[in-house]
Amino acid sequence: MQQAAASVLTDVQSQHDPRQLDIDKVGVKDIRYPIVVKDRQVGEQHTIASIDMFVDLPHQFKGTHMSRFLEVLAEHDRAISIDSLPDLLHAIRERLSAREAHIELEFPYFIRKEAPVSRAAALMDYLVRFHGSIKNDQFRLVLEVVVPVTSLCPCSKQISNYGAHNQRSHVTVRVTTRDFVWIEELVELVERNASCELYAILKRPDEKYVTEHAYDHPMFVEDTVRAVAAELAADPRIDWYVVEAENFESIHNHSAYAFIEGSNRAL
């Protein structure tokens, strides 16, 4: 009886739309799902991602079938990984009769770090995003990492008789690659090009160290993005990159910001 009733229900989404406007992305957002990420230290890391999934919608159709995104995801009922993203995107595109498909995963990634002097160890969390797409039968993956660091102002150090002001900074790196790159490598690249890196646990000897280290390595946002971009530009595994730095100023009511985009495609 229920199957007979379902067979006569109107498919509103497939009805014609007269406005002649293609939609670039339509889909579902903020789905919580387990994923598996490669971990340089222990092999793999299980975490939870917030997932967005989209397809394009040609102008002749009124809407897309939102439930089909979840059906495809449910068929991958084991935790998904980067390796499974191409198959997942192909399945989404086929199920929704689309020309292209997109997926975005945002998740916390944990790295065990030791304090610089006391060696007190704890987990640091970093925000990571995967941006995957299938377009013209080509799979593209952008890896994004947001790394919190300390920045110390060179101008403040130069003009002040006592100390210098510093602040927390978020440095965001996005890359496409020719070869495998660890998340940890991008984190470490940013941290060594900042005034000082952050730690989960600091004892008093560690506080002395990070304070003095930052003072000895003053960095504008311009310095930070240039230093990070220079290393990315010299890495033959990197195809394309974006570097952003935002300093959450401690003596101004605004943030300082810098941005560099580059490509190694001539290498």
Reduced 3-state DSSP string for 60-86:
CECCCCHHHHHHHHHHCCCCECHHHHH
Residue 100 sits in the same domain as residue 174: no
Domain for residue 4, yes or no? no
- Average pLDDT of the residues in 112-116: 97
Q: Identify the band that residue 22 occupies on the pLDDT scale cut at 50, 70 and 90.
A: confident
Residue 77 sits in the same domain as residue 120: no
First vs last Cα of the chain: how many Å apart? Answer: 64
Are the CB atoms for 116 and 197 separated by under 8 Å?
no
Q: Read off the CATH number of the domain in which 258 is found.
A: 3.10.270.10
Domain for residue 196, yes or no? yes
Residue 170 sits in the same domain as residue 212: yes
pLDDT, one tens digit per residue, over 84-105 is 999 999 999 988 888 999 999 9
pLDDT, one tens digit per residue, over 62-87 is 556 778 889 998 887 677 888 899 99
- Average pLDDT of the residues in 207-222: 96
Which uninterrupted H or E stretch holds 10?
none
The b/e string for 30-48 (b: 16+ C-beta within 10 A; e otherwise) is eeebebbbebeeeeebebe
Q: What is the value of pTM for the model shown?
A: 0.88
Higher local confidence (pLDDT), 224 or 75: 224
Final residue in a domain of this structure, among 71, 104, 137: 104
Final residue in a domain of this structure, among 104, 128, 143: 104
In which domain, by residue range, is 251 found?
115-267
Final residue in a domain of this structure, among 48, 80, 104: 104
Residue 83 sits in the same domain as residue 119: no
State yes or no: pLDDT of 215 exceeds 60: yes
Nearest CA-CA partner of 129 in 147, 113, 112: 147
State yes or no: pLDDT of 1 exceeds 50: no
Residue 132 sits in the same domain as residue 42: no
- Average pLDDT of the residues in 251-263: 92
